[in-house]
Amino acid sequence: MEFWLSYNNFAEKLQLPVPPPEYQYTASNQNEMVNILGLGDIIQITGEGLAKIEITSHFPANRVPYAQYYLGDPYSAVETIERWRKSKRPIRLIITGTPVNLACAIESFTWGERGGSRDVQFSLKLKEYRFIQIKQISITEQITLAVKTLAGRPDTKEQPANYTVKPGDSLYLIAKKALGDGNKWREIYTKNKDIIGPNPNLIKPGQVLVL
């Protein structure tokens, strides 16, 4: 079993020379408590939480038989991980022989010496990092979307309640001017038949029509 850390799509990588004796991978769900009348509290699963993993090991200062390879200066590995942490970019953890192949954010990196061996003990806490994909759309698609949005937008312009007939008016012209659609002249005539009379083509200036 090998533990690998990589950065910037494997442009840089670091194998832990001493595999941790154990690791703990925590997967979780996002749960919400909901109170339903007559049933009481229930749990609603709203999504998948971010996985967490913590590994603890050490960078040996000298050649030791249990290390998978000789690292050399243990602080070179410390400096590498610290640089990755400060970059505010994710890294990837791969544990061979297991399903763990995870893009991660470094939550914390704790390190130090003890016992005078010059070995650097460390603990690395990682949390799953999810990449967000934002769809790019062309200018043509943006224009089409804008046109559809405007076409579906309700007409909020306030319509006049009535109209005073002017010389040269017809019901068609009034409907087109006041209601935006000349074909609605029949609606106007229906509402004002008592005023106009039996012939919709005979309207007189000064008549007040209900729209």
Residues of the chain with pLDDT > 70: what percent?
92
Domain map (residue ranges) of the chain:
3-128, 161-211
When the pLDDT of each residue in the chain is averaged and rounded to a whole number, the result is 87
Residue with tokens 């109209």: 163
Are 50 and 43 contacting, i.e. CB atoms less than 8 angstroms apart?
no
* 3-class DSSP state of 20: coil
Domain 161-211: state its class. alpha beta
- Whole-number pLDDT of residue 155: 58
Prediction pTM value: 0.57
Q: How far apart are CA 171 and CA 173, in angstroms?
A: 6
Q: What is the dihedral of CA 59, 62, 66, 68, to 10 degrees?
A: 70
> Could you give phi then psi for residue 144, rounded to 5 degrees?
-60, -45
Q: Hey, what CATH topology would domain 3-128 get? A: Elongation Factor Tu (Ef-tu); domain 3 (2.40.30)
The predicted-structure confidence for 112-169, as pLDDT tens digits, reads as follows 998 778 899 999 999 999 888 766 767 777 777 777 776 666 655 566 688 898 998 8
- The pLDDT assigned to 157 comes to 59
Q: Which residues of the chain have pLDDT under 70?
A: 134-135, 137, 150-160
d(CA 199, CA 193): 9
Distance between alpha carbon 146 and the CA centroid of its chain, in Å? 21
pLDDT of the residue at 30: 79
- CA dihedral for 87, 89, 94, 98, sign (positive or negative): positive
Residue type, 86: K
